[in-house]
């Protein structure tokens, strides 16, 4: 039996944990709404909140460009990775791939290998291919670096599908592609959904690759990079404006999270246990 005291402690701890998790966000939202001077323009107020910093951050930071870039890069990475990883995950789970173990060990290496290990060579590669400062310089390596995680994730899922389902499909005369297309992918919908969301988040937030591979083309810089430059730029030294920029940049992800969080977290928990 649980006594009241135990329950109170439990909720106290949980609420405290939640407050700590949310406080830094709360504090920059708070900062971003303070006006730097007392003679703030009235038209920038909304329901008593001062929004001038947002106007300034949006105008000076040109974050609309960055958001489009991030959206484009992340979508391409997710689609390309999913396409390749579904095929490979299927093969590793349900076919006799030659040298499967060796390849899987290599993928496992790739999973834990730090990006620092490849970023120098990627820079040289992209620069000799004249791809530096283009979307390709970001998309191709990001797809490749996401591959181990995606392939291993899907392989794990596909191998949990009961053999009887697949066998009955092949009795019906479905070939490999058909059984993948019409049976396995529909079954894996939620696993693929979680994977897609995670890949999207990883790509959207990736900083080091963007910093190295698209260093000087402001028109295709992704959101984290342009925010980092904005915050470090000598002409944007007012903390409230920087805070507003940070909030603006975090907003799309937060909104998407609001809708996806339940399934995302459930998916991660079940995925993490299976791995």
The interface with other proteins within residues 137-156 (CB under 8 A) comprises 140-141, 143-145, 147-148, 151
* Single residue of 50, 157, 158, 204 touching other proteins by CB under 8 A: 204
Q: What number of residues does the chain have? A: 275
Binding residues for other proteins restricted to 52-91, rule: CB under 8 A: 83-85, 87-88, 90-91
Specify the DSSP element, H or E, that contains 81.
helix 63-94
Q: What are phi and psi of 46, to 5 degrees?
A: -140, 120
Which region, judged by CB under 8 A, interacts with other proteins, from 47-55, 71-79, 97-105, 184-192?
Answer: 97-105
Q: Determine if 185 is a binding residue for other proteins (CB under 8 A).
A: no
* Single residue of 33, 78, 241, 249 touching other proteins by CB under 8 A: 249
Instruction: Please give the structure tokens belonging to residue 43.
Output: 């038209």
Q: Determine if 33 is a binding residue for other proteins (CB under 8 A).
A: no
CB of 68 to other proteins, least distance (A): 16
How many positions of this chain bind other proteins (CB under 8 A)?
103
Binding residues for other proteins restricted to 214-243, rule: CB under 8 A: 215-216, 223-225, 227-229, 231-235, 237-239, 242-243
CB of 99 to other proteins, least distance (A): 8
Which region, judged by CB under 8 A, interacts with other proteins, from 16-24, 44-52, 71-79, 160-168?
Answer: 16-24
**Smaller CB separation from other proteins, 3 or 43:** 3
Q: Determine if 257 is a binding residue for other proteins (CB under 8 A).
A: yes
CA–CA gap between residue 85 and residue 155 (Å, rounded) = 9
């Amino acid at each position: 039996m649980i006594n009241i005291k135990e329950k109170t402690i439990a909720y106290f701890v949980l609420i405290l944990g939640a407050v700590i998790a949310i406080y830094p966000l709360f504090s920059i939202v708070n900062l971003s709404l303070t006006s730097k001077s007392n003679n703030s323009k009235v038209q920038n107020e909304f329901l008593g909140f001062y929004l001038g910093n947002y106007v300034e951050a949006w105008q000076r930071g040109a974050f609309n460009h960055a958001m489009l870039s991030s959206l484009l890069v992340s979508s391409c990475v997710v689609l390309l990775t999913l396409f390749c990883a579904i095929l490979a995950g299927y093969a590793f789970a349900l076919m006799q791939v030659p040298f499967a173990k060796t390849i899987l060990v290599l993928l496992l290496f790739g999973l834990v290998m730090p990006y620092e290990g490849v970023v120098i060579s990627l820079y040289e590669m992209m620069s000799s291919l004249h791809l530096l400062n283009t979307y390709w310089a970001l998309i191709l390596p990001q797809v490749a670096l996401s591959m181990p995680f995606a392939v291993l994730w899907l392989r794990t899922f596909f191998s949990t599908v009961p053999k009887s389902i697949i066998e009955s499909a092949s009795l019906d005369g479905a070939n490999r592609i058909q059984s993948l297309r019409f049976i396995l992918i529909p079954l894996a919908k939620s696993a693929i959904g979680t994977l897609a969301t995670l890949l999207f988040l990883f790509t959207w937030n990736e900083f080091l690759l963007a910093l190295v591979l698209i260093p000087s083309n402001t028109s295709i810089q992704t959101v984290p990079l342009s925010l980092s430059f904005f915050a470090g730029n000598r002409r944007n030294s007012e903390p409230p404006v920087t805070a507003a920029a940070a909030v603006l940049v975090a907003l799309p992800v937060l909104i998407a999270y609001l809708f996806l969080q339940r399934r995302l977290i459930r998916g991660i928990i079940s995925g993490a246990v299976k791995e």
